[in-house]
Structure 1
Amino acid sequence: MHQIADLIAIFENTFYQSHNTRLIKGDDEPIYLPADEQTPYHQIVFAHGFYASALHEIAHWLVAGEARRLKEDYGYWYCPDGRDKHQQAEFEAVEVKPQAIEWALSTAAGFDFNVSVDNLNGEQTCRFDFQARVHQQVLSFLASGFNQRTTALLKALSDFYKTPWPLTAAQFTWQRDFHGNPGALSDAV
């Protein structure tokens, strides 16, 4: 049901003309590359053809302002897997908004979403706390509204996948395991 070619086409139809930006299936690590002498359009390169990776990288693009979209990887630092407690806290602080948008994109596409702390070889933090912050950010976006680009893509995804529109807070719920522990986030319909 969730074909990467569909997502690439939806993104292209929504943003290529207006923002000179394309979604590109990469072979390796994700990266954002602004247009240059070799490539006349901006590229959101996502990892290994994974649908979830594409949504995540799109979310970073949707958060980035105009000036940031002129810099490689938006001019932000990235500390790879293996972060210590302080580095992980910084990572999670900058990931709340993109992951909240990713969750909204996933919901609009009818695709399962899970938060990612992306630190398998480093300091383990409380995933529950991070999930709660991402959930609060989604609710905040729903209350105050998403930016224009995000809204356009959410609507395009909802139209394509025939999911409920507009998005509502009721679509964003917690799912708990059989022990009552917080588990993966789920999109209720």
Structure 2
Amino acid sequence: MTAVAPHISPDCQHLVAIFDRCFRQTERTCLVGGADEPFYRAATGSGGLHQIEFSHDYFASALHEIAHWSVAGQARRQRDDYGYWYAPDGRTASQQAEFERVEVKPQALEWLFSEAAGVRFRVSADNLAQGLGPSETFKDAIHQETLRLCREGVSERVATFCRALLAFYRPGTELASLLQSRRFARSCL
């Protein structure tokens, strides 16, 4: 198990332990809290671990970064921050539109993870400096992607993590029950 910084809340400590049980050995990946900014650090060398670093002590940040990891394919997981484009807070309207386009899948998965952990999901536009909240188009796209995941199923990594979250936070709840679309009402966004 990963050593957890003492300043990480008990909820985040649990989340780190759950993630490590699922993926530390099989994917050589660990979850690390307390970062100033989220970051995915690819392993260096054959014996190293990949690290998903989440912001401060934020449970939602951890779930969101795990969602990005879940979307990234094998080749992307070999590159720091998956080799993706990112413009920081203060994006222009066109940069915000691109941000929303690439964030649909991760935020849909974050919604599934949040539901599995029994916490409220909040759509993030991640652009506080511009005062731009999430657009209705963005919210609708996340909702539609979540419903698609409920209909078509999720990857094995996502299923593994959801089952582990359910076992810890919602004992007795099965993955099939989580993936019932009635749990994901558009009005919740």
If each structure's strand is expressed as a fraction of its own residues, which one has the higher value? 1
Q: RMSD value over aligned CA atoms?
A: 1.9
The equivalent residue for 2:87 is 79
Alignment gaps of 5+ in structure 2: 1-8
TM norm structure 1:
0.88
TM norm structure 2:
0.88
Is the CA contact 2:89–2:127 (under 8 Å) kept in the aligned structure 1? yes
Aligned with residue 114 of structure 1, among 117, 122, 125: 122
The equivalent residue for 1:171 is 183
In the TM superposition, what is the alpha-carbon distance from 1:8 to its structure 2 partner?
A: 0.4
Alignment gaps of 5+ in structure 1: 176-183
Q: Which amino acid aligns with 1:81?
A: D
SS at match of 2:114: helix
- Separation of aligned partners in 2, 1:111 and 1:30: 20
In the TM superposition, what is the alpha-carbon distance from 1:128 to its structure 2 partner?
A: 2.2
The equivalent residue for 2:6 is none
Alignment coverage as a number of residue pairs: 177
Runs of 4+ in 1 over 6 A off after TM superposition: none
In the TM superposition, what is the alpha-carbon distance from 1:170 to its structure 2 partner?
A: 1.0
Aligned with residue 104 of structure 2, among 88, 96, 104: 96
Aligned with residue 29 of structure 1, among 31, 37, 43: 37
- Separation of aligned partners in 1, 2:131 and 2:58: 26
Aligned with residue 13 of structure 2, among 5, 28, 43: 5
SS at match of 2:20: helix
Q: Judging changes above 3 Å, is the alpha-carbon distance between structure 1 residues 2 and 136 closer, same or farther for their aligned structure 2 residues?
A: farther
**% identical equivalent positions:** 47
Where does 1:98-177 land on structure 2 (aligned, <5 Å)?
Answer: 98-122=106-130, 124=132, 127-162=135-170, 164-165=173-174, 166=176, 167=178, 168-175=180-187
